Amino acid sequence: MNSETCFHCALPIPSGCNLTVDIEGERRPVCCPGCKAVAELIRDTGLSRYYELRDLPDPGVGRPPEEAAEWSVFDGDDMLAAFTEASGDNREATIYVGGMYCSACSWLIETTMSKQPGIESAEINPITHRLRLTFPAEGASLSAYLARLADLGYQPQPLSPESTARPEVVEQRTALKRLLVASLGMMQVMMFAVGLYAMDYQGIDPDMQHFLRLVSFFVTTPVVFYSAKPFFTSAWRGVVGKKPGMDLPVSIAVGAAYAASVYATFTRGEAVWFDSVTMFVFFLTLGRFLEMRARHRSIDRSAALSSLLPNTATRLDETAHSVVPVSQLRKDDRVLIRAGEPIPADGLLASGSTSVDEALLTGEPRPQAKAVGDELSAGSVNLDGMIEMTVTQTGSDTTLGTISILSERARYARPAFVTLADRIASYIVVALLVVATGVATFWYFADPDRAFVITLSVLVVTCPCALALATPAAFAAAGSRMSQLRLLVTNGNAIEALSRATLAMFDKTGTLTNGMPRITSVLVVDNNFTEMDCRLVAAALEHASTHPLARAFAMQDELPSVTSHEVVVGQGIKGIIDGNEWRIGSAAFVGGAAGPSEEIATHVLLGVDGSVVAWFALEDELRHDAGETLREVRRLGLRTALVSGDNQLAVDEVAAKLEITDAHAECTPEDKLAIIKAAQERGERVVMIGDGINDAPVLAGADTSIAPAHGALLAQTSADVIMLGESLEPMTTAIAMSRKTMRIVRQNLAWAIVYNAVALPLAAAGYVPPWAAAIGMSASSLIVVLNALRLNRFE
């Protein structure tokens, strides 16, 4: 398949397309003029290295560039005020860049933008996808920069300054500061500790010892109260919520060691443990920092949802209409929406009538008719007429905004598996505290001088951090790697369920097939008409229909006009053209024989005044990699099955091509659910692969579910894993990856348990000094995190 995919976007090249681009001295095939233009732009600016650096071909890059004219509205003075900030003689704009996926994208964008006339600096944050441009207040044009980004194939969206502070950025900044304070503090205190230890052997001036301890105290204090603050607050939250977490023993150890050291310092006591405290805090902070980074990487590009909204809208004022950025729309504004434009906000249809495509919101692929007074939702597309709308909700208050917030929340929800690990960890914490008290009591009677040190070591060395980190670290790393491999995991339980799946059940339409039927042949039986006549008549009749098959008939040509148009549900359509009654639909409806051939799965008859004129054979093509993917799924040891609402013939044909023996046709969603339940009762673990458009409960009924990412976003939220792009192949990656993830989780858990089993008796027996305990505990956590990060190199 590789030789036939686009060099730029990796989508399959349609047959008959001979476009190529010369890059690095070779002719590379591309799939469409859009990709050709983008690839040439990248080459001509000397940035061909983008192709070597990128992780994977970007589905976003290569979309046809948007109209340049759209951007010009961002040049007005009030727009500049709304979307940029003044800084000295320059202005700064923050732009959300939709469609970027890897570091190569950020390199491409930064390099291209910094070469634009007037640009002082261009910095992009690959985590938040925000580009910060600095340019002179005079003489530069924001719209030219936006147009340039759009030319590269990205979807730029200027942000108003107040919306630019992202929680991830704030969290990362704070974590970095805490980490730095802990690391510098640790190094300093360690240096003084070497002095103190050395002088223990060589004899030390008591004043100097006191001074070094005071200095250590001085440096350790911010480490404890600033760097370790999250541990104390989280431990306290655990105590209040009666769910002690792993932060409790950590906090007790840090707090007790610090307090004892402070006491020893000011009473000139025996020993201080400032070095152990700072080291412990440093390693803990480092572990948390790595975990946070893995988590941030896996934050989905749900912000990309907002880039589905148009950038601008046409607002109707008393006298004129003006193009304004969508963010400036207010309730009760009237906006004009032309045919083909996305609807910029929620609102009520004020004048005109049209049909809209709401697939994005409801998963319903059929156009919905709308009349005056009907509700329109942001993000749906106005298909037919020019309409006026009164805005009721804007921005994040719209249905689309709510969905994006919901799916973001789902992504932050913790999978049951992790919650279970947390619960186990909290029992272990309680057990540990009991053991530590036991050890302290024993040593208090056996050797009171060493009781504190040994108890401290027990607390530190057995901290169940590794245990608690084992699962979430692996899941976070797997999620991040999977999103790089074009898989979005919306439900953490999916990874576990997927690793155990034994039966892959596929939906047909839109999953194994492209979901877009085509006319494969036209058989004209009435010699008075040409094939073209038939197609035109059919297109005219089907124009009003919302049946999925109707889309196959759509034509660009001028259509004959139809009167007395009538859609007979489940049968077909009739209408009068030039005085004759034409019918299109099933054989019974049109009044003809069953069909010219039994081989054709789906056919539609066209007739005039009761006699048959033509047969249309329709076919929904298989996805290009369906066969390959099914073989791979079987190689992974899963059985395959097919359930479909389509007729027996169509299902049999697909099943035969894909060698699926277990195929069920003409299923209602209830049938599908029953088939899944029956399989589950046989002991199968079912992964359902379907777009979920009409069968969200079916997806939910399976052990786990995967949905291809075309169109229906709301349907996707009920799927556990979403595949981006046009191919099915990522699902095999998802299965392999989930198995690997569970293997790593098991390794991590095994390691954590073995470590604690060995370390606890040693520490309780008094063989482990606090500093060694801190190293041991930290090393065990770091090993767990690093082991999990191996998932980032999967495949």
Partner 1 sequence: MSILYVLIPLALLLLGLAVWAFFWAVGSGQFDDLDTPAMRIVMDDDKKPEADEE
Cβ 177 to partner 1, closest distance in Å? 6
Q: Which residue among 507, 646, 691, 695 is the active-site one? A: 507
Q: Where are the alpha helices (DSSP H) in 223-328?
A: 229-240, 247-266, 274-297
Q: Per-residue x/- marks for partner 1, 52-81, CB under 8 A? A: -x----------------------------
Cβ 354 to partner 1, closest distance in Å? 40
In the chain, the amino acid numbered 431 is A
Among 29, 57, 65, 126, binds partner 1 (CB under 8 A): 126
- 602-607: long-range pairs with CB below 8 Å, 24+: 602/517, 602/549, 602/647, 602/649, 602/650, 604/538, 604/549, 604/572, 606/534, 606/537, 606/538, 606/582, 607/582, 607/583
208 near partner 1, rule: CB under 8 A? yes
From residue 455, alpha-carbon distances to 217, 236, 331, 466, 714 in Å are 22, 21, 64, 20, 54
Q: CA–CA separation, 418 vs 788, rounded Å? A: 14
Measured from the CB atom, the residue of 46 and 438 that comes closer to partner 1 is: 46
Q: Which residues of 499-538 are buried (b: 16+ CB within 10 A; e: fewer)?
A: bebebbbbbbbbbbbbbebeeeebbbbeeebeeebbbbbb
What angle, 0 to 180 degrees and rounded to 10, lies between the N-to-C axes of helices 626-635 and 730-764? Answer: 30
From residue 226, alpha-carbon distances to 178, 285, 302 in Å are 7, 11, 32
49 near partner 1, rule: CB under 8 A? yes
Measured from the CB atom, the residue of 192 and 553 that comes closer to partner 1 is: 192
Hey, what are 82's tokens?
A: 């709304």
229 near partner 1, rule: CB under 8 A? no
Total residues at the site for partner 1 (CB under 8 A)?
A: 40
Cβ 125 to partner 1, closest distance in Å? 5
Positions in 646-665 near partner 1 (CB under 8 A):
none
Q: Which residues of 770-794 are buried (b: 16+ CB within 10 A; e: fewer)?
A: bbbbbbbbbebbbbbbebbbebeeb
Among 89, 162, 205, 332, binds partner 1 (CB under 8 A): 205
Cβ 168 to partner 1, closest distance in Å? 9
Measured from the CB atom, the residue of 43 and 301 that comes closer to partner 1 is: 43
Hey, what are 617's tokens?
A: 């054979």
Phi and psi at 183, nearest 5°, equal: -75, -45
Among 75, 110, 408, 625, binds partner 1 (CB under 8 A): 110
Measured from the CB atom, the residue of 47 and 460 that comes closer to partner 1 is: 47
Positions in 80-109 near partner 1 (CB under 8 A):
103, 106-107
Phi and psi at 616, nearest 5°, equal: -105, 125
Cβ 188 to partner 1, closest distance in Å? 6
Among 119-127, 456-464, 504-512, 741-749, the segment contacting partner 1 (CB under 8 A): 119-127
Among 11, 13, 61, 181, binds partner 1 (CB under 8 A): 181
Among 133-141, 215-223, 445-453, 456-464, the segment contacting partner 1 (CB under 8 A): 215-223
| CA contacts within 13 A on the Cβ side of 662 | 13
Positions in 134-173 near partner 1 (CB under 8 A):
169, 172-173
CA angle 460, 473, 102 (to 5 degrees): 140
Residue 550: CB atoms within 10 A of its CB come to 22
Measured from the CB atom, the residue of 48 and 580 that comes closer to partner 1 is: 48
Positions in 687-746 near partner 1 (CB under 8 A):
none
Q: Any catalytic annotation for residue 22?
A: no
Measured from the CB atom, the residue of 172 and 390 that comes closer to partner 1 is: 172
Measured from the CB atom, the residue of 188 and 705 that comes closer to partner 1 is: 188
Measured from the CB atom, the residue of 184 and 323 that comes closer to partner 1 is: 184
Cβ 192 to partner 1, closest distance in Å? 8
Among 1, 4, 33, 48, binds partner 1 (CB under 8 A): 48
Among 146-154, 177-185, 272-280, 567-575, the segment contacting partner 1 (CB under 8 A): 177-185
Cβ 274 to partner 1, closest distance in Å? 14
Name residue, tokens 């025996």: 270
Among 45-53, 134-142, 594-602, 775-783, the segment contacting partner 1 (CB under 8 A): 45-53
* H/E segment holding residue 369: strand 368-370
What angle, 0 to 180 degrees and rounded to 10, lies between the N-to-C axes of helices 730-764 and 465-484? Answer: 160
CA angle 20, 26, 28 (to 5 degrees): 30
Positions in 284-323 near partner 1 (CB under 8 A):
293
Phi and psi at 610, nearest 5°, equal: 90, 0
Cβ 315 to partner 1, closest distance in Å? 35
Measured from the CB atom, the residue of 123 and 374 that comes closer to partner 1 is: 123
Among 40-48, 230-238, 278-286, 652-660, the segment contacting partner 1 (CB under 8 A): 40-48
Cβ 173 to partner 1, closest distance in Å? 5
Among 44, 138, 318, 332, binds partner 1 (CB under 8 A): 44
Cβ 106 to partner 1, closest distance in Å? 5
HEC string for 193-221 = HHHHHHHHHHCCCHHHHHHHHHHHHHHHH
Among 70, 123, 526, 533, binds partner 1 (CB under 8 A): 123
Question: CA Rg, the chain, in Å?
Answer: 33
From residue 192, alpha-carbon distances to 38, 227, 253, 746 in Å are 59, 20, 21, 41
Q: What is the end-to-end Cα distance of the chain in Å, rounded?
A: 19
Q: CA–CA separation, 639 vs 634, rounded Å? A: 6
- In the beta sheet, which residues pair with residue 473? none
Among 197, 211, 236, 263, binds partner 1 (CB under 8 A): 211
Cβ 396 to partner 1, closest distance in Å? 24
Among 14, 46, 117, 269, binds partner 1 (CB under 8 A): 46
Report CA 789 to chain centroid distance, whole Å. Answer: 19
Among 176, 413, 754, 758, binds partner 1 (CB under 8 A): 176
Among 118-126, 311-319, 512-520, 557-565, the segment contacting partner 1 (CB under 8 A): 118-126
Cβ-Cβ contacts under 8 Å for 275 (sequence gap 6 or more): 186, 189, 190, 193, 216, 771
Among 177, 229, 450, 500, binds partner 1 (CB under 8 A): 177
Hey, what are 124's tokens?
A: 């992009």
Measured from the CB atom, the residue of 40 and 120 that comes closer to partner 1 is: 40
Report CA 496 to chain centroid distance, whole Å. Answer: 18
Among 188, 394, 514, 780, binds partner 1 (CB under 8 A): 188
Cβ 161 to partner 1, closest distance in Å? 14
Q: Which of 364, 618, 414 is nearest to 516 (CA)?
A: 618
Among 17, 159, 190, 215, binds partner 1 (CB under 8 A): 215
Q: CA–CA separation, 474 vs 499, rounded Å? A: 14
Cβ 218 to partner 1, closest distance in Å? 7
61 contacts 115 by C-beta, under 8 angstroms: no
Among 122-130, 138-146, 551-559, 637-645, the segment contacting partner 1 (CB under 8 A): 122-130
Residues that bind partner 1 in the complex, under the rule CB under 8 A: 22, 40, 43-49, 53, 103, 106-107, 110-111, 123-128, 132, 169, 172-173, 176-177, 180-181, 184, 188, 192, 205, 208, 211-212, 215, 218-219, 293
Residues annotated as part of the active site: 507
